Structure formats: structure tokens, C-alpha cells
A and B are shown apart, each in its own frame.
Chain A
Amino acid sequence: MKQILPPGISATDFAEALQALRKIVGDDFVYTGEALAGYADPYSIVADDDTHAASAAVAPASTGQVQAVVRVASQYGVPLWPVSCGKNYAYGGASPRMAGTVVLDLKRMNRILEVSESDGYALVEPGVSYFDLYNHITSKGYKLWLDVPDPGWGSVIGNALEHGVGYTPYGDHFAMQCGMEVVLANGELVRTGMGALPNGNTWQLFKYGFGPYLDGIFTQSNFGIVTKMGIWLMPEPPGYRPYMISFQREEDLEQVVDILRPLKVGSVIQNAATIRSLLLVAAVNATRSQYTDKPGPLPDSTLRKIMADQDIGMWNIYGALYGPPPVMDTLWTVIRDSFAKVPGAKFYFVEDRKRENDLLISRADTMRGIPRLSEFSFVNWTGGGGHIGFSPVSPIRGSEAMKQYTMVRDRMHEYGFDYMSIFAIGWRELHHVVELLFDRRDPKIKHQADVLFRQLVRDAAAAGYGEYRTHLSYMDDIAATYSWNDHALMKLNQTIKDALDPKGILAPGKQGIWPARYRGSPK
């Protein structure tokens, strides 16, 4: 196996650095060669397998070990790429942005340090997955609900730091975090918010502390390594009722979104509801080859057949009601009456859905915080299941949703891809998460997907839309679209980066932020 080195580091120095790391974490927890297979991005669409290849990985077991690793990295100039559970698939998995970076794998730091049932929070380390925290809460019998993203194997901390979302009323994960412990590039340890108060007891209760609110700069960034974080948990509600509403026509999207906005902003829709496109829902239950063996966009007759077979719509809202039954009844009356204005709208509760793998049945778990992996089924749609997410943001406005939809759909069809998406409803915005599916064993299709993705970024930017998250391969492209006032935001990010990490060892290139030592050089 070819050895990859960090840029500018000699093989001798690198071997010395690895030896120093072994002394900190133990021989079994420094990985090289074949042992790095698990750090490759399974959904990489770049032609060169080495583009995001790690040179090694190191897995510390404690904050103290993280500090020691950082000091060694600083001494040798070895770049580190922190990952929590490494399951950020479709955005790069555990791979680093820059070839030769050493993955700092925090999987062994998997302690649930505290769960407060009365105050409704947990304090966790980065290696704690949603499955771990859910199992802990249920085993202890706490009357608390977790909020989970679609696949439950990811890290609670990692997902919040990447601005991930879930589907209960606590669906904005970063909004629900409270208090961090962070290792800086010089090895120093900092606690944010009330955590800076020795012997305080409000670290997980009040976010802002005293002075500037810093937690945000440690999200989607390379300014520090988060080793502990508080996350708020939802008290178990007295009632829960998940629902699905389907709409029959493509053009219904506009009216649906306009109806949805006041319901969401006014908290009539309580959770992070989603609108899912026909094929994304269908793909959980079926594959493309069951409907056609022809390439290109599916004709309307096929789309209608899929809708009939699965009793789903061209657009499908998945939401849930929470609270005492009379409250849920009242909210449901308002929601149902509002969407009944859309001709052909159909309303379902779980008991109305009979198929074994029906999406509402699995969403019923997800929207009450039970982690699952069921949504991975959609990657089977084209066979060979690779996917990456294209995720532009828009206002919650029907005309904007339609504009994004038609813009993206037409481009995807032009390049021979099926359109599949989720519109996730935030407090004031729509995350339009488009799933670009490809056969990961087919280099030609992967190349097409790469060209298409870059085109989509350009299209979106020209229309004034930015992406909220992206795969490693597109971080520079997307960062470049946030260019107002001669890239003032990136200049500020670089200023912070250079101040906090002058040697440029933490996650070079993360979100397009390069330290001075790599700036301007080809990656």
C-alpha cells in the first residue's frame, strides 16, 4: 500500500511523530496502512482515490490524550482531522479534506458523563452515538426524548457541530447544544459559557455565560476540538401522534410551502417537519429497476404508477403532534383544515399505512427520537448505492421552493439523474436537501455526478442560494460563493484561524478555511 505523507513532512519526521503518538495512546490506537481502510470515504466521487486519503489515524481515549496529541502534532507540524463517530456519509465520512492529514478519531471518547432528567440535558463525549445515548436513556428509564437525525449511528456532538437536524421539536441540534469543552491548537483546554465558572452548576443550562458567545465558532470549523458538549433533551410529552399528508401534483409544492410557513412559524406545526419528494419516499421501498430499465427521467406515467403502488404523493409531508390529546386534536384540526385547501391532499396516521417498510412507520420512530438506519434504503434506488447531498437554503416561501425545485430537477434530468429531495422546515428557512444518487462502482457516473454537483453550486449561487453543508470535495467551491464584500467573511475566518492555530494543524481546508501554511497551494 502506497504511503501518503502530510504535505511538507519527511518520512523520517512522520515516523517520529507517529512514535510519539503511540506513546500517548498506545500501539493499538495508531493506525496506518491497511488499517486505514475504514477512514476512506465510501461515497467519494473524486476520480483520484488519494484526494482525501489519510496518512494515519490516532484514537485518544481522553481529553488529556487529545491535548497531548495536539502538542505532538504542533511540534512536528502534522495536520489533524478530528472525527467523532466518522459517520458523516454523503459529506465525506471519516476522510480528511487534505490528503496526508492524520485522522484524530474520537470514537474511544464515548462516555455519557451526565444525564439530568429534571433539567433535561445530557453531557457527552464525541464518540457517543445517538444509539448509545438512546440506549442509555431507555435503560435508565428517564422520561426524556432524544432528537435524532435520519441515520442513528452518528455522533451527538458531531451532528450538532455540523449543523445537522432531527425531527422532533428539538430538531435544530446546534440550537439545543449548551456548553462545550474545547481543546485548542496549542493544547490548552477551554470551557465555554457557564463552564468557565469554577464549581458552577449551570454549564448545561445557560448557553451564553459572560462575554462573547463563542460556541458557534467551533461548529463547521477548524478552530478547536470539542471534547465535551451539553445537549438539551425533550421531556417525554403526554401524547404523540405522527402523520403524513400527500399531495398529488408537482406544482402543489408552492401552495404547500405557503400554507406551511405560518403554521411552522406560529408553532402550530411543532416539530421539524419535512416535505419529501416522490422518489425519495418511493426509494425506501422500491428500486428503479422495478419500474424501468431505461436511463433518463422517468415519464409521468411511471411516476403515477409509483404513486399508486405505494399510495404516496408527488410531495409528502411527514410531521407529528406532541402534547396532551386535546392539544393535539386542536392542532391537527388546524393543520388538516389548512392543507385540505390543496386539491387532492390525503391525510394519514400510522394506522392507515399498511406496508411493511412504509416510510411513515419508520418516521414515527424518528420523529420521537428513536434512532434507526432505515433511511439508508433509499440508496438502493439505482443500485450500487452512493450518494452525496446538495443542500441549498431558501426562505419558507412557495415561489422560492418551486424555483429551487425546478432549477435543480431540470439540471439533474439534463445530466441523467433522478430528482430526490427533502425540504426540511426550519424556523425561518427551508433546507432543500437534494440526494444525488450514483453507482459508486461506476467511474463514469461518478464523474457525471461531480460535474453536475459543481454546476448545481454555480446555479444556486447565481440565484442567491447558498448551501449549509457539503461534501469535502466541494468545501472550497461553496466557501467561495459566500463572497459578499470581497470575501470579507472568509478573511475574518482566516484571521481567527491564524490567531488560534498559527501552525495550521487543525483540519486544514475544513469548510474552505485554510491555514496560512497551505493557503494558495494546490490541494
Chain B
Amino acid sequence: MAGTVGGALALGNRVVIAAGDHSDDADVRTYFDARFPRSLQLAGLLPDPGVVAAVGGDPSFLMAQVNDATARRRGLRLQGVTTESVPFCLEQLVRDLPGVRIVSRRIDQDLFEWSINLPLKARTP
């Protein structure tokens, strides 16, 4: 699946696609930090990036995505190249979900590549 980054790129440095703008059909959501051009470039290289969007200062909307996917028993992969507060907050928010763990690695002083998989369960047709 090709990354749908066109809408984000068109807005340049003011890129933000709010949580509500994401496609309901997407199984993969990829985030970058618009302050770092390298972040978008690297995020686009992540496997099967799906919907690509900028993440702003407040990562709590990611939990809504996790809750939504859990409620709908849908598989979901969240991934990104961002500053560390995003994966850190996400890691704490999913702490109690069995078997769900975040994987992250540092890329440079500021950026971390991370991903989290919600296991697929009885996917809704």
C-alpha cells in the first residue's frame, strides 16, 4: 500500500492531520513530526505506511485509536518517526493491554522510530 502523504506535504511546515481525519479503513497509521523534515522522509520509508500524518504536541488521540480498534476487534499498527514523547506516552497508555508492546529505536538526538501492533482478532468484515 502506498503512503498517502500528498495532503500532508502540500501544507509544508504546518502539516497536521487531526485524529478525526484518518481513514476508518486504514490498518496502518504512520506518524511524523513536522518540525523535522527527516522525520517525514523516514516515516515514508517505514513498511506499508498506510495513512501518513503529522502528530502534534498531544499524543492522547492515539489512545482513542487504540481503544477504537480494540472495541472493534480490529488489527491496527501504529508506527512513526517522532520525538520520544509520542512513543513514551503511547507505551504508558497501552500498558495494560495484554501482549501489546511498543518497539522503538533511536535514530538521532531527537528522533525515534517506533511501532506498536494490536493483534488481529475476529476482524470485522
Contacts and interface: CB of A to CB of B under 8 A. Distances in A.
Interface of A: 38, 42, 87, 107, 131, 152-153, 284-287, 289-290, 356-357, 362, 371-374, 376-377, 379-380, 383-385, 441
A379 B60 contact: no
A376 B59 CA distance: 9
Given A131-B60, A372-B60, A373-B60, A42 B16 contact: no
A380 B16 CA distance: 19
Given A374-B58, A376-B88, A380-B110, A356 B14 contact: yes
Contacts of A38: 95-96
Given A107-B96, A385-B85, A373 B59 contact: yes
B93 A153 contact: yes
B124 interface: no
Contacts of A362: 57-58
Nearest to B15: A356
B73 interface: no
A374 B35 CA distance: 15
B110 A42 contact: no
B56 interface: yes
Nearest to A289: B109
B88 to A, nearest CB: 6
A357 B57 contact: yes
A385 B93 contact: no
A306 to B, nearest CB: 14
Contact of A383 (B35, B56, B84, B95): B84
Nearest to B59: A373
27 contacts: A38-B96, A42-B88, A42-B92, A153-B60, A153-B92, A284-B57, A285-B57, A286-B35, A287-B35, A289-B109, A290-B35, A356-B14, A356-B34, A356-B56, A357-B56, A357-B57, A362-B57, A371-B60, A372-B60, A374-B57, A379-B85, A380-B110, A383-B83, A383-B106, A383-B108, A383-B109, A385-B85
Interface of B: 14, 16, 34-35, 56-60, 83-85, 88-89, 92-93, 95-96, 106, 108-110
Given A372-B58, A374-B57, A385-B85, 19 more contacts: A42-B88, A87-B92, A153-B92, A153-B93, A287-B83, A289-B110, A356-B34, A357-B57, A373-B89, A374-B56, A376-B89, A377-B83, A377-B85, A379-B88, A380-B83, A380-B85, A380-B110, A383-B110, A385-B88
A385 B106 CA distance: 12
A441 B93 contact: no
Q: Label chain B's interface by main secondary structure.
A: loop
Nearest to B34: A356
B106 A441 contact: yes
Contacts of B57: 284-285, 357, 362, 374, 377
Nearest to A286: B35
A376 B16 CA distance: 18
Nearest to A378: B85
Among B58, B59, B108, which residue has the most Cβ atoms of chain A within 10 A?
B58
A277 to B, nearest CB: 18
9 closest Cβ contacts across the A-B interface? A374-B58, A380-B83, A374-B57, A357-B57, A376-B85, A383-B109, A38-B95, A373-B60, A385-B84
B106 A384 contact: yes
A380 B84 contact: yes
Nearest to A379: B85
Contacts of A356: 14, 16, 34, 56
A107 B97 CA distance: 13
B98 to A, nearest CB: 9
Contacts of B108: 383
A264 B85 CA distance: 33
B87 to A, nearest CB: 10
B108 to A, nearest CB: 8
Contacts of A383: 83-84, 106, 108-110
A384 B58 contact: no
A31 to B, nearest CB: 11
Nearest to A358: B57
B55 to A, nearest CB: 10
Nearest to A89: B92
Contacts of B58: 362, 372-374
Contacts of A380: 83-85, 110
A347 B106 CA distance: 39
Among A107, A285, A385, A441, which residue has the most Cβ atoms of chain B within 10 A?
A385
Nearest to A59: B96
A452 B53 CA distance: 40
